[in-house]
Amino acid sequence: MPIRETEIISEEEIERIAGKDAFEDIKKARRNIQSILSFLSFFPLSEEEFTLLLKSVISSPDPDMGLNNFERLFAVIGKKREIISYLFQDMKLFPSITKILGTSFFLSNIIIKNPDYLLKVLNEEALRECKNSDRMISEIYHENGDKEAELSPEKVTERLRLYKNREFLRIAARDILGIATLAEVTEELSCLASACLETAYRVGEKTLMATYGAPLYRVKDKQEKESKFSIIGLGKLGGWELNYCSDIDLIYIYSSDDGETSGIETDGKKKNIITLHEYYTKLADLINKFIGSQTEEGNVFRLDLRLRPEGRSGDMANSLRSMEIYYESWGQTWERQMLIKAKPVAGDKELGGCFLETIKPFIYRKHLDFQAIEEIKEMKEKINLSVAANGGTYNNVKLGYGGIREIEFFTQTLQLIYGGRNEKIREVNTLKALRKLNDNGYISFEDYIILVQGYSFLRTVEHRIQLLEGRQDHSMPAEEKKIKKLARRVGYSINEKEKFLSDYSFFTKGVRKIFDKLFYESKEGEEKTQKEDNFSVLWEGLLSEEDSINILAFMGFSEPDIAYKNLKLLRDGKPFSHFSGKSKDLLREVAPVLFKEITKTPDPDMALNNLEKFISTSPARTTMVSLLAESSGAREILLNLFGTSEFISNILIRHPEYIDITQHPEFLEKRKSREESEKELLDLLRGKSRFEEKSDLLRKYRTEEILRIGLRDIILGMSFDDITKEISILAEVCLKGAYEMSIEELKEEFGIPQIISDGVRKESGFAIFGLGKLGGTELNYSSDLDVIFVYSDEGDTETGKISQKKVTNQEFFSKLAIKILQAMNEVREDGMVFKVDARLRPSGSSGYLAQSIKAYENYFETHLQLWERQALIKTRFIAGDNSLDEEFLTIAYKTVYEKDFTKEMASEIDRMRKRMETELAHEDESIFHLKFGEGGIVDIEFVTQALQLKYGKDEEKLRNPNTISALKELEECGHLEKSDYLDIINSYKFLRMVENRLRIVQDRPLNILFKSPEKIVKLAKRMGYKELEKLSPGAQLLRDYENYTERVREIYNKYFNLLCE
C-alpha cells in the first residue's frame, strides 16, 4: 500500500474522511490525530490504514472519547513494534478496539496501563472463550508458572486484583462486541467473583492453619471432626447474575461452635489453640482484606456483609446451628426474600448445601403466604422514597420506576407465596425463575415476555452506564448529549436516541404495570365457608372456595380464581384496612346488583378488578360505596368504564376526586369545540407562572379530557368520526398550550426572534403543522402526533434586557421545538400529554427540529422522495402564527400536487405497500395485522392517497387530509365508484373502531387481532357483539373482519391496477 505522504492533517481533511460534525471538538480531534501520527512516525500508515483507523473511531459510540483514548494508548505503546504490528496486521481489528475505547474510560485505562493485554486478552481466541470458576481458579494460581503452594498472602492481594482487571477487560469486551449474551456475561462475572473468593479462602485457611492448627469440632460421641467453612453468596452473586460494579453480598458460615483448633506443637507443647468462632472470625477478616482492601490496583470487589444475622452488629461468621436458631426465632420477611438467592460460592460446598436445606422451611412456607406481599410492598415503597429523595424516581435503572428491582421483587414475591407448595419454582437466577413461574402457570406468557425482555434491556443499560467509568451507578444521564451517547453504547444507531428512550419508557411502564398488578390487586382476604349459589350467597361467604370459583366461572368470569379474591377483598377489605360497619352494610345491600351488572360488561374480570381497586384505594370509601348503592346512574357509568378500559379506569382510580364531575350531565353530554377547549386551557395556563407548574397543569387537563372523551365513548357510544375528532381537538389544544407556555419562557430568556422583511425588522412567525393521523383529524387512543416545526426565515433575537442572550432564529426555534416536545413527551405518574414525533422533518432525526420555510422549500425541490410527497398530503396547520398557514401549505401542496403522478409512481407506492405487508404485518395462521395486514387500514389510506396524487393537481377539492372526507370527494368527482366508495368507507370505519377497542383497554398502539374466537371474545363484546345461538361474539367479529378486509384488498387491487396501466 502507498504510504501516507505527510504526518500533518487539517480539520478539513478530517471532516472529508469522517464527515462533518463527526467530532464534537474538531480542534481537539485534530490534535489527537496529529499526536497519533507522530507516535507512529517509525511505522508510517498507508492512506487506507489511516482512513480505516479514523472511520473506526467515528463508528464507536463516542468518537471524541474513542480518539482521545487511542491517543493515550499510542503514547504508552511508544515504539513497541510487536503491539503496533498486531494492531495493523488485521484491518478488522480496528473497529473492535475503537468500539471498546469509545465505550468505556474504565476499560481504556486497563488497556493503557497494560498495553500487552491487546495481545493477550483482545485476541480472537481469548474473546471466544467462556470460562467457568474452576478454570479461573487454576489461572490465578498458575499465573507466571507458579505452583499452588507458592501463592502467599503477600502475593494473593496483588494477584487477585491484576487477574480481576484482566478478566473484566475480556468479559466486557465480549459483551461490548456482541460475542457474549447477557446471561453469559453475568455468569462469567459471577464465576470471576467466586474464583477470587475461593482463592482468598484457600490462602487464608492455609495461613491460619499454619498458626493455629486444624479447626476441629466435636460430634455426638465426643469424637473430633474437621470443621468446614462456606461462603454463601446472596443477591446478584447468589443469583449468578453479577454486574460489572456490583457489591458482592456474603454470609460466612462454619460447621459448629463446639470445638477449637488443634494448635501448633512446639517443644512438646500445644499452643495457639483458639475457639472455632475466633478462628473463623479471623478467616473472615483475612478474606475481607484479600478481596475488599484498597491498593494501588483498587480492590477486587466491594464486599457487603450487612445481610448477616443482626447486620453490622452481628458476628462476622456464624455456625450452622446459630444461623438456624436465628432464622427460626427472629427471621423477617425481607430475610426470607434475601435467602431465595442464597448460593454457596466458595469454601466447602457440602456445608453450603446443608445451610440451604436448613433454611428452606424458613423461606418457603407450606401454606400460601399472601402476607408476604404487603411486607415486600412496604420495602419497595421505602426504596421508592429513598430514590425519590435523590431525584431519581424515573431514571434510576435499578431502583426506580419499573426498574430492575421491581422485576426482582415481583419474582421473589411469587416464589415466597407459592414456593412452599411447588419446589419447581425455587430458583436463584432471575431469568430462570421467571421461566419457571411461567412454565408453572403463575404468570401469563405476555407478562413473562415483558419481564424477561425488560430485565435484559435494563441490565444492558445498567452495564453500559457502569462501564463508562467503572462506577456503581444506576442512573440515566439527564443531559441530551449523554443520553444520545448512552443509547449508542447500548447498541442504538446515531439517530435513535428517541427510540432508545421510547423503549426505556415501554419496558419500565410494562414492568411497573405488572408489579402493581401483584402488589396492589392480588392480596387475599379472610376465608369463609359458603353453601348456596346466588349473588347474595356468594357475597355472604356460605360456599366453599372451590364452589364459589365454579359459580364465578359460570357467571362469565374468565379468571374466576382472581375474581374470587377480588370478591373477598371487596367484602372484607384489604389486610389491616377493613371497611367500616356502614360500608359493609351498604356493600351487602348493593352486592347482588353490582355483580349482576358487572357480568353484563364486556370484561367482567376487569370490571370487578377495577371496582375493587377503586373502592379499596379511595380515601373516602364509605362515600364511594354510598354512591354505588344509591345512584344507578353512577353505577352504570363506573361499571361500564371498569369493564371496558383499564387505562381510563386507572385515571379515576388514581383521582377519585374526579367522580364528582362525572356525575354532572354536561360532563358527558357537552361536545366541546376547538375554540372552547383552547380558551379553557389557555385561561388555566395563564393562572400559573412557572413552566413546571404549567406542565403539570397541561398533563392534568389532558387527563381530565381523556377521561371525559373516554366516558363519552363508552357510555354514549359515540361514532368513530366523533371519537377521533374529539381526541384530535384535544391533541391540537394541548400542542397550542405547550407552544404558548414554551415561547413565553424562551422570549423571556432570549428576546423576540426577528426577521427583516422589506427592509423592516419584525417578529418571525412560527407554526406547528400536523401530519399523519393528527393532520387528518383522525387520532385514536395512543396515537402519536406527527408534527413538523416551521418558522418564517433566518435572523436573530432582539433583546431588551441585560439578562437576555441573543441567539439566531435557528437556535431559538430549535429550543422552542425541544421545549414543546418536553412539555408533551415527558412521562410522569399520569403518563405523558401526547407522544409527539417530529421525525418526518427533512433529513429525519438528523435534521434540525425547526426549519425555515425556505429550507423546507429547498428540500422539497431537491431531495423530496415519493413517500414524503405522499405524507405531505395530510399536512394541516395546528398551532402558532396563522400567517404561516397559507404560505407553507401553498408550498407543500405545490410540491404534492403540481407534478404529474405517473404509473411508475403508482407502482412504487404499491411496492412499498406490499413490502410493509411482508416486513411489518407478519400475518400467519394465528394472527391478523389490523394496520399493515392484507386489506388492512394502510390499504385504504394508500389507495386514497394515490388517487389524490393522481387527480389532486386539477381538482383542488380532493386536497383533503382527512381520509373519510377525501374518499367522499373522490366519489363525488367520479374517481371512485359509488359501490366501492360505500364499501371502503364502511370497512375503514369498522377497522378503525376495532383499533379503537383494542387500544382503549391499555392505551397502547396495538394492531394484532388473534384468529382464535376465544381469544377475542372480550374485544368483540367491547365492539358491541352479542351472543348468538350459532356464533359467539368472537366468531362474529372474525367473520366481519375477513369480509371487510377481503373487500378492501379487492378495491385496492382494482384501483392500483388502473393507476399502474
Percentage of residues in the chain with pLDDT exceeding 90?
Answer: 45
H or E segment and range at residue 752:
strand 752-757
Domain boundary among 867, 897, 927: 897
Mean pLDDT of the region 553-567: 83
Residue 382: CB atoms within 10 A of its CB come to 10
Q: Is residue 526 part of a domain?
A: no
Q: Is the pLDDT at 523 greater than 80, yes or no?
A: no
Q: Which residue has the higher pLDDT, 717 or 466?
A: 466
Tell me which DSSP letter residue 1 carries: -
Triad 830, 834, 839: Cα angle to 5°: 140
Q: 752 and 887: one domain? A: yes
The model's pTM: 0.52
In 3-state terms, what secondary structure has residue 640? helix
Q: 726 and 839: one domain? A: yes
Residue 849: CB atoms within 10 A of its CB come to 20
Q: Is the pLDDT at 532 greater than 70, yes or no?
A: no
Q: Is residue 606 part of a domain?
A: yes
Residue 283: half-sphere exposure toward Cβ, Cα within 13 Å:
38
Taking the C-alpha atoms of residue 244 and residue 104, their distance in angstroms, rounded to an integer, is 12
Q: 882 and 745: one domain? A: yes
Instruction: Provide the pLDDT confidence category of residue 948 given band limits of 50, 70 and 90.
Output: very high
Q: Which residue has the higher pLDDT, 519 or 391?
A: 519
Residue 687: CB atoms within 10 A of its CB come to 9
Query: What does the H/E/C string look like for 284-310?
Result: HHHHHHHHHCCECCECCCCEECCCCCC
Q: Is the pLDDT at 529 greater than 50, yes or no?
A: no
Q: Is the pLDDT at 62 greater than 70, yes or no?
A: yes
Q: Which residue has the higher pLDDT, 800 or 525?
A: 800
Mean pLDDT of the region 31-58: 81
In whole angstroms, how far apart are CA 305 and each of 287, 309, 647, 938?
12, 10, 43, 59
Q: 575 and 608: one domain? A: yes
Dump pLDDT digits (tens) for 224-254: 899 999 999 999 999 999 999 888 999 999 9
Q: Is residue 61 part of a domain?
A: no
Q: Is the pLDDT at 974 greater than 50, yes or no?
A: yes
Name all contacts of 952-956 with Cβ < 8 Å and 24+ positions apart: 952/873, 952/896, 952/897, 953/897, 953/898, 953/899, 953/900, 953/901
H or E segment and range at residue 604:
helix 604-617
Dump pLDDT digits (tens) for 330-352: 888 788 889 999 999 999 999 99
Instruction: Provide the pLDDT confidence category of residue 82 given band limits of 50, 70 and 90.
Output: confident
Residue 689 has what pLDDT? Answer: 85
Q: 299 and 351: one domain? A: yes
Q: Is residue 188 part of a domain?
A: yes
Q: 187 and 284: one domain? A: yes
In 3-state terms, what secondary structure has residue 955? coil
Q: 715 and 827: one domain? A: yes
Instruction: Provide the pLDDT confidence category of residue 368 given band limits of 50, 70 and 90.
Output: low
The single-letter code of the amino acid at 782 is S
Dump pLDDT digits (tens) for 274-321: 999 999 999 999 999 999 998 888 899 999 998 999 888 889 999 999
| CA-closest candidate to residue 120, choices 156, 75, 170, 162 | 170
Domain boundary among 470, 499, 521: 521
Dump pLDDT digits (tens) for 563-611: 888 888 877 766 545 556 666 777 777 777 788 888 888 888 999 888 8
The single-letter code of the amino acid at 843 is S
Q: Is residue 842 part of a domain?
A: yes
Mean pLDDT of the region 512-527: 62
Find all residues with CB under 8 Å of 125, minimum gap 6, and list them: none
Dump pLDDT digits (tens) for 817-831: 999 999 998 888 777
Q: 892 and 934: one domain? A: no
Residue 987 has what pLDDT? Answer: 94
Handedness of CA 857, 858, 862, 863 (dihedral sign): negative
The most confident of 20-34, 142-156, 552-566, 1045-1059, by mean pLDDT: 1045-1059
In whole angstroms, how far apart are CA 404 and each of 215, 233, 400, 1004?
42, 19, 8, 22
Residue 666: half-sphere exposure toward Cβ, Cα within 13 Å:
1
In whole angstroms, how far apart are CA 474 and each of 3, 66, 395?
47, 23, 8
Beta-strand ranges (E) seen in 385-503 are none
Mean pLDDT of the region 623-638: 79
Triad 535, 538, 540: Cα angle to 5°: 110
Residue 736: CB atoms within 10 A of its CB come to 20
Residue 385 has what pLDDT? Answer: 45
Dump pLDDT digits (tens) for 734-753: 999 999 999 988 998 899 99
Taking the C-alpha atoms of residue 659 and residue 624, their distance in angstroms, rounded to an integer, is 9
Q: 196 and 332: one domain? A: yes
Q: Is the pLDDT at 7 greater than 70, yes or no?
A: no
Residue 375 has what pLDDT? Answer: 66
Percentage of residues in the chain with pLDDT exceeding 70?
Answer: 91
Instruction: Provide the pLDDT confidence category of residue 8 given band limits of 50, 70 and 90.
Output: confident
Q: Is residue 150 part of a domain?
A: no
Triad 327, 333, 339: Cα angle to 5°: 60
Handedness of CA 416, 418, 424, 430 (dihedral sign): negative
Q: In this predicted structure, which of 172-186, 216-230, 613-627, 976-990 has the lowest mean pLDDT?
A: 613-627
Dump pLDDT digits (tens) for 411-460: 988 998 888 888 999 999 999 999 999 999 999 998 999 999 999 999 99
Q: Is residue 347 part of a domain?
A: yes
Number of separate domains in the chain: 5
Domain boundary among 643, 664, 683: 643
Name all contacts of 497-504 with Cβ < 8 Å and 24+ positions apart: 497/845, 498/837, 498/839, 498/845, 502/835, 503/457, 504/457, 504/461, 504/476
Taking the C-alpha atoms of residue 1027 and residue 827, their distance in angstroms, rounded to an integer, is 40
Q: Is residue 650 part of a domain?
A: no
Q: 231 and 332: one domain? A: yes
For helices 545-554 and 560-572, give the axis angle rounded to 10 degrees: 110
Instruction: Provide the pLDDT confidence category of residue 16 given band limits of 50, 70 and 90.
Output: confident
R_g over Cα of the chain? 34
> Domain range for residue 387?
371-521
Whether residue 1000 contacts residue 1021, with contact meaning beta carbons closer than 8 Å, is answered with: no
Residue 278 has what pLDDT? Answer: 95
Residue 3 has what pLDDT? Answer: 53
Q: In this predicted structure, which of 47-61, 375-389, 1025-1039 has the lowest mean pLDDT?
A: 375-389
Whether residue 771 contacts residue 840, with contact meaning beta carbons closer than 8 Å, is answered with: yes
CATH number at residue 391: 1.20.120.330
Residue 776 has what pLDDT? Answer: 93
- Cell numbers at residue 794, please? 433566518
CATH number at residue 792: 3.30.460.10
Dump pLDDT digits (tens) for 853-889: 999 999 988 888 899 899 999 999 999 999 899 999 9
Whether residue 450 contacts residue 510, with contact meaning beta carbons closer than 8 Å, is answered with: yes
Q: 298 and 184: one domain? A: yes
In 3-state terms, what secondary structure has residue 262? coil
In whole angstroms, how far apart are CA 317 and each of 191, 209, 229, 252?
23, 17, 9, 5
Q: Is the pLDDT at 777 greater than 70, yes or no?
A: yes
Q: Is the pLDDT at 923 greater than 60, yes or no?
A: yes
Mean pLDDT of the region 888-895: 92
Q: 441 and 480: one domain? A: yes
Q: Is the pLDDT at 79 greater than 70, yes or no?
A: no
Dump pLDDT digits (tens) for 108-142: 999 999 888 888 888 888 889 899 999 999 999 88
